Structure 1
Amino acid sequence: MICRMWHGMTPRAKADAYAALLEQRALSGYRAVPGNLSAYILRRDEAEVTHFMTVTYWESEECVRAFTGDDVLTARYFPEDEEFLLEFEPFVQHYTVAAEMRAT
C-alpha cells in the first residue's frame, strides 16, 4: 500500500473556500481512480496562513500512476489553485505502508 502526501498553504482568509474546493474537486478525482483506498484532507490554521495536506492511500504504485501519469512524485494542481495557494510545491511524498492498525 502506498501513502501519497501533498502540502499546500493559503492565506487564512481564503482557507474555507479552498477547503470546499479540495473537498469537491480532489476527493471526487481520487474516488474516480481504481485502486484509491481512501483520501483525507487535513487542515491546520496558523496566524495568517492555513496549511492543507492531502493524504491518500493506494493499493499500489501502479494505481497511483493511473492518477498521476508516469511521474508519480510530481504534484498535481487544479487551474483554480492559482487563486488560493501561496506557493506551488513541485513534489509530493510517497511512503510504503509498513504496518497498519484498524479499529474494530
Structure 2
Amino acid sequence: MWTGVVRTEDRDAYVNYIERTGMDAYRATKGNLDAWLLTRDLGDGRTEVTTVSRWESLEAIAEFAGPDLERAVFYPEDDRYLVERDNRVRHYAQQT
C-alpha cells in the first residue's frame, strides 16, 4: 500500500497518468494478483491517492520494486502532480 497527495484539481489527470504507468506496471508483473487505485478528497483542495496491490509472494513484489521491497517506485511525471508522497510502501498479510 502506498499513499500520496495531489491537488484536487489535478486528481483526474493524475489518476489517468498513474493508470498508464504504475498501475499498468503492477498488473503486467508476473505474480501480481490485482491492483486498485483509491482516491479521497480531503476537503482542503487536496486529494489523497492510495494504491493497493496483492501479490503471490515477496519474490513477485521484488520483480516490480527491486530488492528494497519497501522503497516506493516513482515515474517521471510524479513530481508534476504529487504535493506529498510516502517514499516507503507498506506491506500487509491478507488474513481472510
TM-score range, shorter chain: over 0.9
The corresponding residue for 1:58 is 55
The separation in 1 between residues aligned to 2:75 and 2:84, in whole angstroms, is 13
Counterpart of 1:21 (choices 17, 24, 27) is 17
The corresponding residue for 2:71 is 74
Instruction: Show structure 1 runs of 5+ residues with no match.
Output: 100-104
How far did residue 46 of structure 1 move? Answer: 2.0
Higher radius of gyration, 1 or 2:
1
Structure 1 runs of 4+ aligned residues shifted over 2 Å read none
2:74 maps to amino acid: Y
Matched residues, percent identical?
A: 38
The separation in 1 between residues aligned to 2:56 and 2:18, in whole angstroms, is 22
Spell out the pairing of 1:80-95 with structure 2 (5 A cutoff): 80-95=77-92
TM-score (norm. length: structure 1): 0.87
The corresponding residue for 1:7 is 3
C-alpha RMSD over aligned residues: 0.9
2:57 maps to amino acid: S
1:6 maps to amino acid: W
* Alignment length (residue pairs): 95
SS of alignment partner, residue 95 of structure 1: coil
Instruction: Report Cα offsets for 1:20-74 as digits up to 9, x if no partner.
Output: 1111112210121100000000011122100110000000001000101100001
Instruction: Show structure 2 runs of 5+ residues with no match.
Output: none
TM-score (norm. length: structure 2): 0.94
